[in-house]
Every structure is written in structure tokens, then in C-alpha cells.
Structure 1
Amino acid sequence: MPENPADTRLISLVRSLLNRESPPQDERVRGLVLAALEDEQRLRAALEGSHTPVTAEETEDDTRQHTTPAGTFLRGIEVGGFRGIGSRTRLPLHPAPGLTIVAGRNGSGKSSFTEALELALTGNSYRWSTARPALWKENWRNVHQDVSPTVRVDLAEESAGDTRIEVAWPDSGKPEEHRSTVRRPEENPELPPEWHRALELNRPILSYEELGNLFEAGPSKLHDALAKLVGLEQLSEGTQRLDTLAKELSAAEKQAKKLRGELRDDLDHSEDERAPELRKLLGKHKPDLEAIGGFVTDSAASGGVAARLRELAEPVLPEQADIDSSVNQLRTALGEAAELVGDSVAGAEQRSALLHRALELHREHGDQPCPVCGQATLDAEWSSRARQRLDEDEQWITVARQAQEAVRRGAEQLRSRIARVPALPDTAGVELENLERARRARERWATPPERDGELAEHVAATHPELVAAFTELREEAAARLAQYRDAWSPIAEKLTNWLEVMREVRSKAQDLKDVRGAHEWLRDNTKRLRNEHLRPLADHARRIWSRLRQQSNVDLGAIELTGNGPQRKVALHADVDGAESQALGVMSQGELHALALALFLPRATMDQSPFRFVVLDDPVQAMDPAKVDGFVQVLAELAQDRQVVVFSHDDRLADSARRSNVRARILEVQRGRNSEVTVVNSDSPAHSYVSEARAVAKSELDPSVREAVLPGLCRMAVEAAAWEIYSAKRFHNGQDRDKAERLWTEHKRTRARIGLALCGDPDIDLDFWLEGYPRRRHTLGICADGTHEGLKCSAEEAVKSLQTTIDDLLREPR
């Protein structure tokens, strides 16, 4: 079974749908559907019968996997020699639910922390895997510090303790040649197996680039991205596995169809008499393979030219030795019979019978005159002579009879051998030069004399002619048959291949039918399954959008994944001032960005994910101010049971958190010379600028550089403090944020912005606030004149005045 609970829930949904069907699917088809959702190996095992997925509604295994896994939080990210960070720098994080905002201007190195975290957890970086990876891969090592790149991520696992993932590279290694080491309190150094799947289905890291590209890749890619984002790629992967297996199983079917088409074309152009019958057999819906197989070996051609040629090429002739033996036997018998001259056997038998009667007469009536001649006397002397003659006759008769029988048998054997040479077959369509000679020779052979005495000589005279004629006919017929077979050979060879493929098709027919059935079911029910599985996430996404859509006319409706193959797309229904529309067609870039967040956050924070943290890199970059406020509220809600870490170069996020009294830990990433990056706690952006100004003042920069840089930092610090006071007052009083921001941006001078912060009047005279506070006046002078004329006092004095001025401003009531 799959390792991830989300997978199990989807499989449970599939089981439920399979079992609710009427009529139900075949048990094997149901098993193939479920196995396809697991992996290719189990799908093939299910087809072979060595793996049987559970098709019941619910299993104990499902219930066990539905439990929430132990949570994991981030303790810190340490980076050195990687991207924008030189010396090793640690970003400390509190491993518990709560909101942490990591601020820092563009180029400060803050995104290097998120990329390092992504690399440690996933082994890759979104920037490296995009269509333009060369630039990022060529400049991934820090250019200022000659140190080996290292990444270290510390995590806290519930019920397990601390886990550390370290990533290192060889000195001259490429980005992908990194080596990861895992240190855990347990003996097993591997990461929990459920992490790998959760990083795909519940990815807890999202960069601005990845978020922004979600809606720019086209309908199919957007569909796939969202399907993966919500864990539904399992359905498409299952469908693809079944489709691949069906194509594999049907390959023989396609090959057989192709070969059959080629055979039909060949038969259409063949003059062989077998072609029409074979084409007829091939045209049947379920061809008789055994019958068709006869056309490979000529056995199907029982009455055609091939059969007649084969018969002529294999004539039935008695062996010469047998003929010689039979002729000699008959001649011997005839010779022996000829030596028995004199009375015929019949006369001898009649005489013998007469003597038997005369002896019987004498024995019964005694001596008497001969009844035949009347002169001789039948007495004892006569009886003795008669008995002697009778014995001689009987001996002669026996010998004569044996001689006659030998002649009869010899003649019979020869006549039998003559009869065994059948008449030559009908030769219609066959023209052979030696056929007529053979026919005449056989006719003479088959017309023996009636007298046995002449038979041996007939056979002896006609047999050599018969053998010679039939031998020439056989050779001619065999040569013609070879030509005939050669002409048929390409068809026979192709037919052999087709038969082999068709036997494979027949053997796989049931498998193919079941796999196709499973594929059709999963394909046809994918929309229903994915939208049922998507519904809870879509509802959550709409709730988030309702917080992010402040002042937007677009209300998000149903979210559906529709279509298959190249027609797949995302249907994001929207309501624009009461009119139905597709969201992607009516949303601004900022709204699309907010929508992407609304789709991402529910999946990243699902209960089955072992990651109890969410890391967002620059999520508010394209948002208008109203959506930033709504987004802070969304983050605050997530932070109740999740560790939410948001990186942003935009002060509006931290400013909104302070203004809305959202409890947030605010850290600031600051970058010095040579990629020296530090992480400090920051109460406000103004204090961050003060810290940077102090760092510049203490640096070893050329004095002229310090004098040119410090006035700008002073101005940014004063205006940041003024904005914090101004926006807090305005928004606390319920003023429209867009209007407040427009008023702010319309007045560029620092004095005007302080006037807005103190009194809401950009034109007010600030003497009431400056009188008696020389450091305030000194700071405003630096802001006004220093940016053009340079610093007129020492750097240390400028920072002291700035610190006092900022503290005074931030103490103003809000």
C-alpha cells in the first residue's frame, strides 16, 4: 500500500466508488485499478496474479494510516559560501506554531536561506530545475568568500528529537554533486520515508517565482501543476500506467493487424491458387489459426497444383531389389513346374480316385474280374500293385500341387507390385515434358499378360523403362515444385510471423481486456474522483481567497480539474459583480498571485503532512495593500497550529502585522561588504535602517563613501518610522488603504511625510516638533541636504542623532 495517508484516502475513495457501481466491475479489473494507483511494479504483479490489492471499502491499514503523523518544525537554517551568503550565517527559528517574518531588502541574502532549505529537503532547487537553469547553476557559489559551500538545516521532530540535514560540495563540484548527511537521534540515518512523498504532495516551501509561474505555463501544465499541488497526480499516474501497460499488451495486436494487412496485399497480387482461400480465412473475425497454418507447409493445398506436383515428385515405385526377387521367384517356380511332365495333375488325381474305388471294391467283394476291362482279375497281386501305383501318384500330385502354388504365389506377388504403382494423377494446370513418357511407361507396366508364364518377362522388360521415366518425371516435378514454393515463400514466411504474433495476441487477450477495462474505468471516473478529492481543499482555498480578495470584484467559485490528455485544464469559476466567468480571464496579476497562494496553502497545511511548517518567499510582491492586510490575517490563522515563516523584501508585510496587532516575530537579514550577512531581531523597519547606518559608520569604507551613503539611510529610516505612525493612525481610523497610500506617495519630501505622520497634514510647519530637540533638527537637515551635498558632520554624530529621532517618532501616539 502507499506510504502517504493522502494516497490511502484517495485509494479509499476509489474503492468506495468501485463498490458502489451497479453492475459491479469484475474483481480482477477492480484490483488492477487499485494496483495502478500504487506503482508500476504492483500493477504488473496484480496482472500476473502475485499481488492482490484489497478491494473492500475500508481496511485496518487505511484506518491506521489516516492518523496524523508526528510533526516536524524548523529550528534554524545555517548557510555559508552559498549564493548571496559568504561567511556562515544562521537564521534562528522558534520550533513551534507562530508567525515569523524574515525581512530584508533585495540582495540582502534572505532568499539564499529559502533556497538552501529547499535544497536540503528536496535535493534540488526550483531555480535550478526551470527552463533557465544555466545562470543560476553558474553563480551558485558565493563570489566573495573562498569557502566550501555548506548548508545546515536543523529540525525538531515530535517524539524523535532534533534532526540535522547537512549539505556539502567538493571544492570544484557542480551544483548537482552535493552530498547530504542526516543526523538523527535514532540509529537510522535516513529521513522518515513519509517525508519524500509529503515533499511532493504537501510541499511546505513556495517561492515567488514558483508561485508566479503557476498560471503562465498553459492549460495542460497548469492542470498538472494543480493536480500535483493537491496530490491528484496519483490519478493521472495510475491512468498513465494502465495506458502504458495496455499499449504494451496491444503491441502484438497492432503488429498482427499490420502483418495481416500486408498479407492481404500480397495475396491480392499473387497468382497462386491458394491465395483466394487464404485471404478468405484471414478475413474472418476470429481466424482459424490451425487451418491457416496449413498454408505455411503446403498441407492446405490438398487438391491444387502444389499437391499434384508434390505427388508427381514423390512417385510410388517398387524397389528394384523387390522386383528382382519376385521375378526370380516366379521364374524358379515356373521352371520347377515345367519339369513335371506327363499326366496333368487333374488326370493323376482322377486315376488315383479310380484306384481308390477299385481297391475299396476288392476289399469289400473279394477277387473278381476288372469291371473296366473285364479281362484282368482284381486279386491280391493286383491289389498290391495298385496300392504301390497309388502311393506314387499321390506323391507326384503333392509335388505338382506345390509347384503350381509356387507359380501362383510368384505371379500374385508380381501382379501386386504392378498394381501398387498407381495411375498418374490429374495434371490439369501442370505441364511437364516427361509426363507423357511416364504415363505410357506406367500404362505398359500396368498391362501384364494373363498367362503367368509370361508375367516375369513382362515385369523384367517394363520395369527399367518405368523407373527411368518416373525418375525423370520426379526430378522435373521436384524442380517445378521448388519454383512453386519459392514463389509462395515470402507469403509463407510472413504468414509464419503473423501466426506467432497471433498466438501471442490470443494468450494476452484476457489480460489486455482487463487492463483496458481498468484504464477506461479510471479515465472515465477521474473527473468525479479528482473533484471529490479536491472539494475539501477547494473549500479551504475559497475561504482563504475571501480573506485575500479585499476590495476585489472577483469572487471565487468552484474549482475543477477537467478534461483528459491534451484537453486537460483547470476550471476556476468566478463571479464578477454577479456575472459568471472564468477566474483566469478576469483576474489581475496580483489577484492571480493571491489565488495561487489560496490554492497552495491548504495543501501545504493538511493534517497528513509531517511538516508543521510553511515557508513562503516574497509572497506579497505582487499584492496590492488591501490584499496584504488580508494575507496577514490568513497567516495569523495558519500560525495558530503551524510554524509560518515568510521571507519578504516588502516592508508592508511586517508593517501590516504590527498595525493589526498580529503577534509575529520579525527578523531582519542585513548584508554588509563581501556578502557578510547577519540576522537581527527587528522591531521596525526604521530600526533596521538605523542598524545599517551604524554598521556603515563603523565600517572601513572610504570616508567619502560613508558620507555619500549615510544620508540616504537616514532618510529611509525617518520615512519608515513616519510611515509606521501614519499608516497605523490611518488604518486604525478605518481609512481606505489605497487612499492613504496614494496620499503618501504623492508627497516625496521627508518633512511632508513627517507632517502626515504627526498631524495628517503634509504642509504643516514642524517647528512645534523640532523646537527644543536639536538632534531632530540635525537629522532632518541630513535628510534634506545630505543626499545632495553629502554629510557635514561625523558619521558617529549622524547615527546618534538618527537613533534619537527614530525613537522619538516611534513614541508618537498611534
Structure 2
Amino acid sequence: MTGDAADPDGRDGPDESGRGAAGPTDPIWLRLAAADLDPEAHALVVAALHGDAELEAALRGEPAVEAPPVPPRSQYRPRRAYLRRVRVRGFRGIGREAVLDLRPGPGLTVVIGRNGSGKSSLAEAAEVALTGRSQRWEGMQTAWRDGWRNLHDGERTEASVELVLAGDRESTEVTRVWTGSSVRSAEGAVTRPGRSPEPLSTLGWDDDLRRYRPFLSYAEVGRTIEGRASELYDMLSALIGLTGLASAERRLARACRELSRRARRPGKELPELVAALREAAPGNQRAEAALAALEGPDIDLERVAGLAKADPVDPEELIVLRRTRRLAVPEESTASDVIDELRGAALELAMVAGTKSARAHGVIDLLRRALEHHAQHSADARCPVCGADDALGPDWAARAVAEIGALESTASGAEAAYARAEEAREKARVLLAPPPEWVPRDSELGRAWAEWSAGSSRSDLVELADHVVRAGRRLRGAAQIARVEAAHRLSEISEPTEGWALLADRLALWVERARDAEFAQDVRGPAERARAWLVQAARELRNERLRPLASQAEMVWRRLRQERHIDLGALRLIGSGLQRRVAVDVTLDGAESAETSPGVLSQGEMHALALAVCLPRTLAKGNPFGFLIVDDPVQAMDGPTVEGLADVLAQVGRHRQLVVFTHDTRLTSALRRLQLPATIRTITRTPNSEVFVR
């Protein structure tokens, strides 16, 4: 097994891992520059590599920039870091402060102790100090995950890691202190030589901690092979620096699915729309026209859009239509009451006509009118009827009043008939009210109503009754027609639940989606070509970058397998999205197998395979962490495999700092028996959670 060929001492040097490869020299951009892609597909690949917003803009047809998605970062990686000390207090199984001192630099250190001695607590404390989380806790129940504070000494919970960065004599200390009840309440800080505490982000390790993870627990090893197929895929993608490429693939895949959905949507909705139009077509010219347009061999979207537009409506017209629909005119029963009253009053007048009582009533009426005229024009004594001068003076007025008094008893017999007649006329005048101002005068309703109200000037009771009958019949007919027409018109323009407007809205929406489908179909071709190119280029690039790791994994496997007749071949990243996984080529007893499966390997062999895949990441170029903490790697291994593991760990220890926690004495025995270079430490724990490392 070989270490990092470049930069063996971990000082600053060129980064060949692609850490700063988002610029024009990144392999994916070089491949894209040489690709035989049409301009539309090329622009979509560029946009997908940029991000979601850029791809959405490109899909809308907006110009796409050709520059790389982010400015090129520094071509020099951070200095390599080694562990000098791990200090833990009040965390998990550790009460009082426990310290693990280490020699910073390459080498293998094995910390051995029985179960419950505090090994995993030390390993997890170092992980949490740097990352704020532990992968072993992920997915566990809340009660277990949050039971992190030690019961014997939990007043202050703290974990710190002292690191030595290449080129420094003094340590850089990363400290995390818990201030609340939640395991996620820890606050972290870093103190570098000669500087005040700073946020952990100033180390610039956020991406590297996810990508290279200098921690490897038994649980993580198990998930690598037995967990979801995508987990190993994602781990290796991050390790070879191509997570951004995977994101671009997912963006284009989502875009293609969405374009396909948009292109198919109008066709799926059309049968239901046609059925609704067919139901409404009888008597509805626009529905019939829309139906004919949609059922033709070629759909003219412009024509359909024109049919979908509601007629422009004047707001005042809309008011008139709504009022007309609710219009009330004198009902026939109401008019009949007035007619009966008019005719009854006319008959009663006819009965008193020619009698002394009627004559006396007429004289009284005439005298009263004359008195009213005299009161209004007292200075003018001339009679307006005969023209005689001084005929209407004060003496005349006195005589007229006296005569009225004398005639009243005679006129009383006809008074009731005349009062009834006047009351009937008043009822008729109220009934014959003029039309509202909003009724159009030139409409049939307006003309009928004008004729109706003109009858209010009539005084003859019989003629007035005949007018109410004749004009009322015409008015009610015109009003009924106007109400029906107004309701029909409103159903077309303003009441979607009853008429065309609902269908017009649906038709307009369908036209909008049909136009969008045409656009989506035009863009779909370039998008599919862009996706196909990116998938193929990404597959080739992944396997190209994965090849050195696969070679390292194959060497690890050869040492771990011992006498087993299982050869590990190439590792390949295949599939995408939910189908992404890692294919492992194997040869079993000389017979080639397409890919490994859990049924081919034993539990110990699967564990060894997981270690073979995970261990090489610590040797990857560009990894700023010169150390790897491994917790319980021996489980489920038989004796020969443990010896192979001892050999592998010693080999890795020549190039990196390995800190291995284990309870299995077979590992330390194998190291001694094989005389492999290693520092062996012992960890113990007292009943009061005091942990000592010797």
C-alpha cells in the first residue's frame, strides 16, 4: 500500500484532487469544451453545473453564462493536521477529565480495553469536537441519543482535540463545550498559536470533514456494505470530489422529468375538456366552435384562445344587467286591485251623476278653486272665467264661503263617491310610476314602461282602468323578456357556475398549458441530450477518479482476505438518483461474478470488504487530515483476517497517524507476533467513570 505520492510531509503543495477544480481546468469543463454538443444542450449543461437558478433561467430561454460556476479556489490545500492530545470530561462514559496523549505524525496507536472502558467515548468525543455530531448517533432514538452527559461528573461537559499542523511547533486546539441539555447545544472554538479563540469555520475544514471524515466507527463500516446502496455511493462521490457533478445530474434529471410532465399535461386534460364542451355545446355557439377547433386534426391555439376570451363588458352595462335580472314590475294581482278600485269608483260616480248632491258637490268644488285663486291673487278682482272687473272682491269671497256652507249638506250624498274616485286615481298614479333611470329608454322595456307611466295623467276612471290593463300586460311581458335576456347574458360574462364563463376559464387555462407544452417539447430535446451527455461524462470521470482508490482498496482486500479465494476487482459508481449504487467486481474461486451481493460473502468478509473500501480515503490526495480514528474494526473477523487487518493498519500507519480503539486482544497479539510497528495503550474505567489511558 502506498501513501500520498505528493507532499509526503503534509506541507502546502499543489492540490491534484480537484479541491480547487471548479475552474476552466476542471476535467468536466475540459470534456465539455471538447464535446460535440449542439449549442442548446451545451448551454443547459453549463447552467446545470452552475446551480438551480441558472438552469431554470436557461430552460426559460434566457442567456446562459459560459464561465465556470464558481471562481477557481486556491490550488494549495490546507496544511496536514495530526493529533497530539484528546481531552474529554463529563461526556458519555467519561466523568472526570480523561486524556489521551499521542505522538503527532504517522504511526499506529492501538488503545485496547474491555467493553465499557471508555474507548468509544474518547473516539466520539474527538469526532464531536471537530464536527459537532457523531455518525453513530444518527438514526438512534432521541432518549438514547440525548443521554450523552455523564452521570458522575456532568456539571461541565467538554471535549477538546489538540492538533499539530505541518510547519507549526505549537498546537492548535479545538474545543467544544456543552451549555444546554441537548447534545446539539455544544459551542465550538479553535485556538491557534498566538491567537485568540475563533469560530471553527475559520479552519476551512467544513467541506473536508464531510469529504474525508477522519473517523471510522464500526457502525459506519457496517452501514457501508449493509446500509442503503446510495450511502457508499455518496461517500465515494464526495471523496473523489464530484458531489457537485452529482448535483448537476440531479438538476437535469428533475428538469427532464418536469419538461416531460408539462409536455404531456394538455393531452391528458383534453378528453375531459372536450366532454365538458360537448355537454354545453347545444345552444352555445362558442362552445360549439371551441369543440370543433379542439376536435380537428390540427388545433389552432390562437383561435381557441380567442374563443376562450370573455366578451368585454362595460361596468355600467353589467350593473344594468344585474338590476334587470332582479327587476320587479307591478304584478297582475296588484294591478287588478287598482283596476277594480277604479271601476268601482267610476260606477259610484255614475250613480250620483245628475243629482242635486252631485251638482252641489260640483259647485262647492268650483267655489273652492275660485277662493284659492283669489287668495293667491287678492289684488286682482277680475274674474278669470267671464272677465268681469271687480267680480272677485272681498264681498264675493264672503258670499262664496257662505254658499259653500249652505251647499255642504246637500253635497254630502255625493262626497263619498268623489272621495273614493280621488283615492282610486291616487292609487293608479302610484302604480303608474315612471321607469328607473337606469332602464334604457330605447329598449322594449323602456318603451313599454314609458307607455305605462304616461297613463298617470289620465283623469277618467274608466279610461285609466283600461290603460292599467292594456299597458300593464305589455310592461309585464317586456319585463319578463328583459329578465331572461339579462340572466342569459350574465351567465355568459359574469356567472361561471351557470354558463360559459367557467368553460371559458378552463379553455383559457388549457390553451396556456398547451402553449407551455409546445415550449417544453422544444426544450425537452436539448435537455435530454444535455442529461445524456452529462451522465456519460460523469460516469467516465467518476470511474477515472475512483480507479486509484479502487487500487488501494484491492491491496487492502488482498491483505485482509488471507486464504480466501475471493478477489476484489474494480469499484464502479453506477446509476443516478434513487438508483445510484457502487458496483464491486469480484472473482469467487476463480469464477468471475458480475457484482458482489450480501449472499456471496460472510459477515466477516463483508466487514473486511467495508474496511477495504473505507480505509483508502485517509490516503487520498488533498486530504488535510493526517490522522484517522478507527473504533472497533475487529468485530466479526476470524483469526487470519485479524492478522491481515494488523498488517493493513501497520501499512497505513507508515503514511498516516492511525488511532485504533478495540476490545479484541487478538489485534494486539497479531501486531506483536508479526512484529509490526505500533504503540499499544491500555484504557481502564473505574466505577465512578474515571477513565485512564496508560
> In the alignment, does 2:15 pair up with 1:5?
no
Q: Write the letter of the residue equivalent to 2:141.
A: P
1:600 is aligned, of 595, 598, 614, to 614
Give the direction of change, closer, same or farther, for the CA distance of 1:285–1:641 in structure 2 (3 Å limit): farther
Q: Write the letter of the residue equivalent to 2:221.
A: L
2:181 is aligned, of 147, 154, 173, to 173
Give the direction of change, closer, same or farther, for the CA distance of 1:32–1:612 in structure 2 (3 Å limit): farther
Summarize deviations over 1:148-187 as a string: whole Å, max 9, x none: 21111111223566322211122x5111222212223457
Corresponding residue number in structure 2 for 1:238: 248
Alignment of 1:575-594 (within 5 A): 575-581=587-593, 582-584=595-597, 585-594=599-608
Q: Kindly state the Cα deviation for residue 147 of structure 1 after the two structures are TM-superposed.
A: 2.6
Q: Kindly state the Cα deviation for residue 658 of structure 1 after the two structures are TM-superposed.
A: 2.3
Residues in 1 aligned to 2:215 and 2:48: alpha-carbon distance in whole angstroms: 29
1:215 is aligned, of 200, 207, 225, to 225
Give the direction of change, closer, same or farther, for the CA distance of 1:221–1:298 in structure 2 (3 Å limit): same
Residues in 2 aligned to 1:241 and 1:484: alpha-carbon distance in whole angstroms: 45
Residues in 2 aligned to 1:296 and 1:603: alpha-carbon distance in whole angstroms: 63
Unaligned residue ranges in structure 2 (runs of 5+)? 1-14, 313-443, 445-476
Residues in 2 aligned to 1:13 and 1:96: alpha-carbon distance in whole angstroms: 33
Residues in 1 aligned to 2:20 and 2:527: alpha-carbon distance in whole angstroms: 21
TM-score, structure 2 as length reference: 0.64
Q: Kindly state the Cα deviation for residue 219 of structure 1 after the two structures are TM-superposed.
A: 3.9
Corresponding residue number in structure 1 for 2:159: 151
Give the direction of change, closer, same or farther, for the CA distance of 1:508–1:554 in structure 2 (3 Å limit): closer
Summarize deviations over 1:322-380 as a string: whole Å, max 9, x none: xxxxxxxxxxxxxxxxxxxxxxxxxxxxxxxxxxxxxxxxxxxxxxxxxxxxxxxxxxx
Corresponding residue number in structure 1 for 2:637: 623
Verify the 8 A CA contact 1:541 1:598 in the aligned structure 2.
Answer: yes
Corresponding residue number in structure 2 for 1:93: 102
> In the alignment, does 2:205 pair up with 1:195?
yes
Alignment of 1:511-590 (within 5 A): 514-581=526-593, 582-584=595-597, 585-590=599-604
Corresponding residue number in structure 2 for 1:137: 145
Verify the 8 A CA contact 1:99 1:665 in the aligned structure 2.
Answer: yes
Residues in 2 aligned to 1:579 and 1:134: alpha-carbon distance in whole angstroms: 47
Residues in 1 aligned to 2:240 and 2:34: alpha-carbon distance in whole angstroms: 25
Residues in 1 aligned to 2:64 and 2:131: alpha-carbon distance in whole angstroms: 31
> In the alignment, does 2:78 pair up with 1:78?
no
Give the direction of change, closer, same or farther, for the CA distance of 1:251–1:577 in structure 2 (3 Å limit): closer
Residues in 2 aligned to 1:212 and 1:203: alpha-carbon distance in whole angstroms: 16
Q: Kindly state the Cα deviation for residue 248 of structure 1 after the two structures are TM-superposed.
A: 5.9
Give the direction of change, closer, same or farther, for the CA distance of 1:72–1:54 in structure 2 (3 Å limit): same
Q: Kindly state the Cα deviation for residue 634 of structure 1 after the two structures are TM-superposed.
A: 2.1
1:263 is aligned, of 266, 273, 279, to 273
Alignment of 1:774-789 (within 5 A): none
Corresponding residue number in structure 1 for 2:653: 639
Q: Kindly state the Cα deviation for residue 254 of structure 1 after the two structures are TM-superposed.
A: 6.1
Residues in 2 aligned to 1:100 and 1:207: alpha-carbon distance in whole angstroms: 16
Q: Kindly state the Cα deviation for residue 472 of structure 1 after the two structures are TM-superposed.
A: 10
Q: Write the letter of the residue equivalent to 1:240.
A: R
Task: Looking at secondary structure, tell me which structure has more helix per residue.
Answer: 1
Question: 2:171 aligns to what SS in structure 1?
Answer: strand
Residues in 1 aligned to 2:150 and 2:287: alpha-carbon distance in whole angstroms: 78
Q: Kindly state the Cα deviation for residue 38 of structure 1 after the two structures are TM-superposed.
A: 5.4
Task: Give the percent of matched residue pairs that are identical in Structure 1 and Structure 2.
Answer: 37
Give the direction of change, closer, same or farther, for the CA distance of 1:60–1:524 in structure 2 (3 Å limit): closer
Summarize deviations over 1:93-116 as a string: whole Å, max 9, x none: 222111111121211101111101
Verify the 8 A CA contact 1:246 1:512 in the aligned structure 2.
Answer: yes
Q: Kindly state the Cα deviation for residue 284 of structure 1 after the two structures are TM-superposed.
A: 7.3
Tell which deviates more after alignment, 70-79 or 497-506: 497-506
Looking at CA atoms only, which structure, 1 or 2, has the larger radius of gyration?
A: 1
Residues in 1 aligned to 2:504 and 2:231: alpha-carbon distance in whole angstroms: 50
Give the direction of change, closer, same or farther, for the CA distance of 1:477–1:276 in structure 2 (3 Å limit): closer
Summarize deviations over 1:660-692 as a string: whole Å, max 9, x none: 232222222111230111111xxxxxxxxxxxx
Verify the 8 A CA contact 1:229 1:600 in the aligned structure 2.
Answer: no
Corresponding residue number in structure 1 for 2:216: 206
Alignment of 1:319-330 (within 5 A): none
2:665 is aligned, of 639, 651, 669, to 651
1:672 is aligned, of 686, 689, 694, to 686
Question: 1:580 aligns to what SS in structure 2?
Answer: strand
Considering Cα pairs closer than 8 Å and 6+ residues apart, tell me whether 1 or 2 has the greater RCO. Answer: 2
> In the alignment, does 2:543 pair up with 1:498?
no
Q: Kindly state the Cα deviation for residue 215 of structure 1 after the two structures are TM-superposed.
A: 1.9
Question: 2:680 aligns to what SS in structure 1?
Answer: strand
1:115 is aligned, of 114, 121, 124, to 124
Q: Write the letter of the residue equivalent to 1:148.
A: R
Verify the 8 A CA contact 1:115 1:125 in the aligned structure 2.
Answer: yes
Residues in 1 aligned to 2:578 and 2:521: alpha-carbon distance in whole angstroms: 29
Question: 1:583 aligns to what SS in structure 2?
Answer: coil
Corresponding residue number in structure 2 for 1:464: none
Q: Write the letter of the residue equivalent to 1:557.
A: G
Question: 1:8 aligns to what SS in structure 2?
Answer: coil
Give the direction of change, closer, same or farther, for the CA distance of 1:183–1:554 in structure 2 (3 Å limit): same
Residues in 1 aligned to 2:16 and 2:511: alpha-carbon distance in whole angstroms: 45
Residues in 2 aligned to 1:146 and 1:119: alpha-carbon distance in whole angstroms: 17
Residues in 1 aligned to 2:492 and 2:154: alpha-carbon distance in whole angstroms: 84
Residues in 2 aligned to 1:297 and 1:15: alpha-carbon distance in whole angstroms: 49
Residues in 1 aligned to 2:295 and 2:190: alpha-carbon distance in whole angstroms: 66
Q: Write the letter of the residue equivalent to 1:73.
A: Y
Corresponding residue number in structure 2 for 1:697: none
Verify the 8 A CA contact 2:49 2:245 in the aligned structure 1.
Answer: yes
1:182 is aligned, of 184, 190, 195, to 190
Verify the 8 A CA contact 1:46 1:53 in the aligned structure 2.
Answer: no
Give the direction of change, closer, same or farther, for the CA distance of 1:529–1:650 in structure 2 (3 Å limit): same
Give the direction of change, closer, same or farther, for the CA distance of 1:249–1:9 in structure 2 (3 Å limit): same
Summarize deviations over 1:50-80 as a string: whole Å, max 9, x none: 8735479xx9948x53x55421111211101
Q: Kindly state the Cα deviation for residue 649 of structure 1 after the two structures are TM-superposed.
A: 1.3
Summarize deviations over 1:127-153 as a string: whole Å, max 9, x none: 2212x2335324311122243211111
Give the direction of change, closer, same or farther, for the CA distance of 1:45–1:481 in structure 2 (3 Å limit): closer
Question: 1:267 aligns to what SS in structure 2?
Answer: helix
Question: 2:92 aligns to what SS in structure 1?
Answer: coil
Residues in 1 aligned to 2:240 and 2:601: alpha-carbon distance in whole angstroms: 22
Give the direction of change, closer, same or farther, for the CA distance of 1:576–1:247 in structure 2 (3 Å limit): closer
Summarize deviations over 1:745-796 as a string: whole Å, max 9, x none: xxxxxxxxxxxxxxxxxxxxxxxxxxxxxxxxxxxxxxxxxxxxxxxxxxxx
Q: Write the letter of the residue equivalent to 1:589.
A: Q
Verify the 8 A CA contact 1:4 1:194 in the aligned structure 2.
Answer: no
Question: 1:489 aligns to what SS in structure 2?
Answer: helix
Residues in 1 aligned to 2:82 and 2:124: alpha-carbon distance in whole angstroms: 17
Alignment of 1:685-696 (within 5 A): none
Residues in 2 aligned to 1:678 and 1:257: alpha-carbon distance in whole angstroms: 73
Q: Kindly state the Cα deviation for residue 36 of structure 1 after the two structures are TM-superposed.
A: 3.4
Residues in 2 aligned to 1:198 and 1:285: alpha-carbon distance in whole angstroms: 60
Q: Kindly state the Cα deviation for residue 194 of structure 1 after the two structures are TM-superposed.
A: 4.5
Question: 1:24 aligns to what SS in structure 2?
Answer: coil
Give the direction of change, closer, same or farther, for the CA distance of 1:558–1:120 in structure 2 (3 Å limit): same
Residues in 1 aligned to 2:299 and 2:202: alpha-carbon distance in whole angstroms: 56
Q: Write the letter of the residue equivalent to 2:277.
A: L
Summarize deviations over 1:291-339 as a string: whole Å, max 9, x none: 2222124679xxxxxxxxxxxxxxxxxxxxxxxxxxxxxxxxxxxxxxx
Corresponding residue number in structure 2 for 1:124: 133
Verify the 8 A CA contact 1:14 1:34 in the aligned structure 2.
Answer: no
